[in-house]
A and B are shown apart, each in its own frame.
Chain A
Amino acid sequence: MKCTGSLGGVYLKTKLLMKGNDALARGAVFAGCRYFFGYPITPQNEIPTYMAEELPKLGGVYLQAESEIGAINMIYGAAGCGKLAMTSSSGPGLSLKQEGISYLCGAELPCVIVNIMRGGPGLGGILASQGDYFQATRGGGHGDYRTLVLAPATAQEMYDFAWDAFEIAFRYRNPVVILGDGILGQMMEPVELVSRPPVDPGNLDWPTTMAQGRSKRLINSLYIDPVDLENHNRKLGAKYERMKKEEVRYEEVAMDDAEICLVAYGTVARIARSAIQRAREAGIKAGMIRPITLFPFPDEIIQKRAEQVKMFLTVELSLGQMVEDVRLAVAGRRPVEFYGRQGGMVPTPKELLTEIQRLGASS
């Protein structure tokens, strides 16, 4: 299929080999994102680079902010005007953005925030990790808020989820986090650039667009009267309950007769998939639940499978963060084991198979 070098051309159904970061950036632009404010940090720099090249050609805005703090606040301003705005960073930058994200949720502003995770804590390392799960799913900033979190596991999903993220963000008037990692961001895979109509928020009645022939609008998170603030918090809480009912996404692999259930997301899910294949060849009935939304977490499917399997094995590139959500969902009915690598180290399928066998032998 012919494709042109610039997004000025039309992609109907084109498959290109590209990095996950590039797929995400393209996905966002196709979704209609025209405002990007960011700051360089490894391993996501392909995203701002792509935006810097493409957005001006499309009449959009790319601006490199003075810091990740500047960037998230520029997002606030543009999102407050009803624009499709996105920023991307890695762990340390997301830490800087936490106050801004709290404000975005408090002011009910839609936007997309991308975290291509690297090793931590502190300056950590530049290779992949999943150590920001708590930060993303618990809302690492202050106050009662949540952001919906999408966890892609392929370059294709990096592309697809960008569109979904904007659609969900505007539907709920809430930020959406796309949680990737350095492997997903850097690896190259074929991506089908399926064209969808851009996300269209429609006629919005809340953005500041200049008060011409109408009364003023306000984008704000301050409610100094506790009665007002409680009502506001409950309104936000109702949103998050609705997300839990309607937005849960997950994938199951070989779960119909599984006796040991792996739980893994992102890059680790790919490794787990290979491990499960090998386990099956060795006669072990292994399967996997791959959460795709990390918030809202797929409790129900885990609860359901807890009736069936003998144990769960959560695998993460961390000291164990998602495993706590798995344990909450399993509620003590079955053992929940954990296997983790850190610092940018990544398990091999053989390593996971050995762990599955070890757990099978000792159970």
Chain B
Amino acid sequence: MAKITIDRERCKGCSLCVAFCPQKILELEKATNAKGFHPASIKDEQKCTGCAQCATMCPDICIEVYR
């Protein structure tokens, strides 16, 4: 069992987490945050393994990982 949280207001939509998630369960939202970026969000939380690749690549410390 694992999950992540994403600070959507700090996210700049760089999509590195989306690209490096081995489960391919991250995507950019269609909505924007207050800064106008499309933040990342998790589309299938059940498949999260807590591998933390997303957090490893996130340049803005938006992601916390729980296992």
Chain A–chain B contact at Cβ < 8 A: no
Binding site for A on B (CB under 8 A): none
A interface with B by C-beta (< 8 Å): none
